[in-house]
Amino acid sequence: MGIFDKLFGKKKKVGKTYKCVRCKKGFESKDDIIEYPGNQLVCKQCDAELDSGVMQDFNFVTHSPAEEHEKQPIRKDSEMELKWKFKTGRGVKSGPAISENYVYIGSGDSYVYCLNKNTGELIWKFKTGSKVWSSPAISGNYVYVGSQDSYIYCLNKNDGELIWKFETGGEVYSPAISGNYVYVGSQDSYIYCLNKNTGELKWKFETEDRVLSLAISENYVYVGSEDYHIYCLNKDTGELKWKFETGKWVSSSPTISENYVYVGSHDSYIYCLNKDTGELKWKFETGKAVSSSPAISENYVYVGSHEYGYGYVYCLNKNTGELRWKFKTGDWVSSSPAISENYVYVGSDDGYVYAFGK
């Protein structure tokens, strides 16, 4: 049982009603609720009270993960080299994007940050209208990032200046770029294809629920949705090629390596699928939900997970799914790892961005 399970009870859905785990009120629209880590739904009024510090007096008691994970190798602080960490104003679910000597990352405090990757020094920050849980994408001199204010933003990567923004019908998640186009999913259930230079709409594809993640490989867009499915679409037309059903919603952005798609689900599994057919190759079970997007380096997959009051970063063999090691942070790891040279960069809901040896 996770922190929010202990404090409020488990999330409940009744038909089309979404129930806040704190005040117990039911809401018919997803626009009235916010998804917290651990698959919890909290209404916007309770979210504002949590932001204001109402919950600070609670003692968050952690629980041991599943028994089988106790047998796996856990790296201790003394065995890892922490290079730096940077404190934002709230939890970090955004995965870092790295370009040259800089790390770009969003935070729940509504800002997009640019940091020196070697020192963690702040270079600039840009304020959006709401939480930035989207992972930025870099193309040329520009940063593309979504916000819960319903907009996708295009920023100058050197100084954070706004170039354009496009409004969708709901919260905007992590974008992906291919050629002259930006692909992004929204809470309104659509996948959007936009001109990356102007923000002009080319096409959109509707799923059965909100679209939380996507990735591009060759001529296809790979998409995760809250309808439990992973979709493969033609990137030029939006036409469906295949879809794969997991056991719960998919907020992890798929990662492509060679002939395979790697993606996490809130059913606690990390999946490896054939990118052409959607056929399952292997799956690895973590302690709880996986909303982090996998990162690939050489023969290994790096991914974060929600656990029992804390979080882990996992390192798996990409061909077999076998566990190599896992690293414990102070809270859930919803952020997606990024790899540069010999370091793994990742954010945690404890408010820190970590850099450690891979």
Q: What is the pLDDT of residues 260-272, one digit of tens each?
A: 999 999 999 999 9
| Average pLDDT over the chain, rounded to an integer | 83
Q: Are 42 and 22 in contact (CB under 8 A)?
A: yes
The domain 69-91+295-358: what is its CATH number?
2.40.10.480
Q: What is the largest CA-CA distance in the chain?
A: 52
Q: Which amino acid is at 26?
A: G
Task: Output the CA torsion sign for 226, 294, 217, 195.
Answer: positive
pLDDT band, very low/low/confident/very high, at 312 (cuts 50, 70, 90):
confident
Domain ranges of the chain: 3-57, 69-91+295-358
**pTM for the structure as a whole:** 0.64
Measured from the Cβ of residue 71, the count of other Cβ atoms closer than 10 Å reads 8
Q: Which residues share a beta bridge with 145? A: 153
- Helix/strand/coil for 45: helix
Range name among 25-34, 71-80, 210-219, 265-274 with the lowest pLDDT average: 71-80
Q: In which band, very low, low, confident or very high, does the pLDDT at 56 lie, cut at 50, 70 and 90?
A: very low
CA 353 to chain centre: 14
Please give the Cα distance from 207 to 196 (Å, whole number): 23
